A and B are shown apart, each in its own frame.
Chain A
Amino acid sequence: MQNRREMLSHSVKVAAMLAAVGLMPGLAQAQAAAYNTPAFAAKTLAEVMKALGAAMPAESKDVTITGPDIAENGAVVPVGAATTLPGVKRLLMMVEKNPAMLAAMFNVTDAIDANISTRVKMGQSSDVYAVAMMNDGKVLFARKEIKVTLGGCGG
């Protein structure tokens, strides 16, 4: 039946067009996640924020950073970043005196609490920052000084 044949060939053409334009859902997801190498090489807070295309953060009581006051082993320092504010896009953890400041960046969705813990290496006693990048463009931070008795970069 000619009608069906035309319909089928028409849908293949439409799908090909959509794929070319990048609207096929699978492709779009894969493109979102390119690793941000400049952000992870940046040495200062300003450089990190510039690499992320974000403003410099403002200190905020609504962002919390948890961690020990004194870490005995700089190779494994438990750190948590959290905020109670809604509309968080990303949570960042940074160690000021590390060779590269940005340790980890978490993309938060509505399906999880904006409260993430991990363990980071600290080369020496340093300020540690939790930065929250909000959906509306605001950038907020909290800072804590963590003293390290044995540096964690293997130096």
Chain B
Amino acid sequence: MADPMRIRAQVAGDKATVRVLMSHEMETGQRKDAAGATIAAWHIQEVSAQHNGKTVMTAQWGPAVSKNPFMQFNVKGAKVGDKVTISWVDNKGDKRTDEAVVS
């Protein structure tokens, strides 16, 4: 539903640095709109990362992660041509999966 994630995975020595930029409002549930009604919380809750199909990291996020979340981590033993897949699920049940090739 949302815009695609931008994933960059680059080899540096025997690891790959993976940078992900996701597209999501990450509404905290604290803000009020012009009429004074509270805007409901809407944020990514679970994230997972796979390297060549094997899960290497999972995460749970609260609404305090910034809008259009950025995340960076290093995968050990990743080589050029390997596949990195990132998925997320938000508190409304929407989900998104994107993948990138390590370069």
Contacts and interface: CB of A to CB of B under 8 A. Distances in A.
Interface of A: 33, 35-36, 39-40, 75-78, 80, 95, 98-100, 102-113, 115-122, 152-155
| B interface bracket (residues with beta carbon within 8 Å of A) | 20 to 34
Interface of B: 15, 26, 28, 30-31, 45-46, 48-49, 51, 54-67, 69-77
A75 B46 CA distance: 20
Contacts of A112: 49, 56-57, 73-76
Contact of B28 (A36, A76, A107, A153): A153
Nearest to B77: A111
Given A103-B61, A107-B57, A107-B59, A76 B66 contact: yes
Contacts of A102: 62, 64
Interface of B is mostly: strand
Nearest to A99: B30
A113 B64 contact: no
Contacts of B60: 35-36, 39-40, 104-105
A122 B69 CA distance: 14
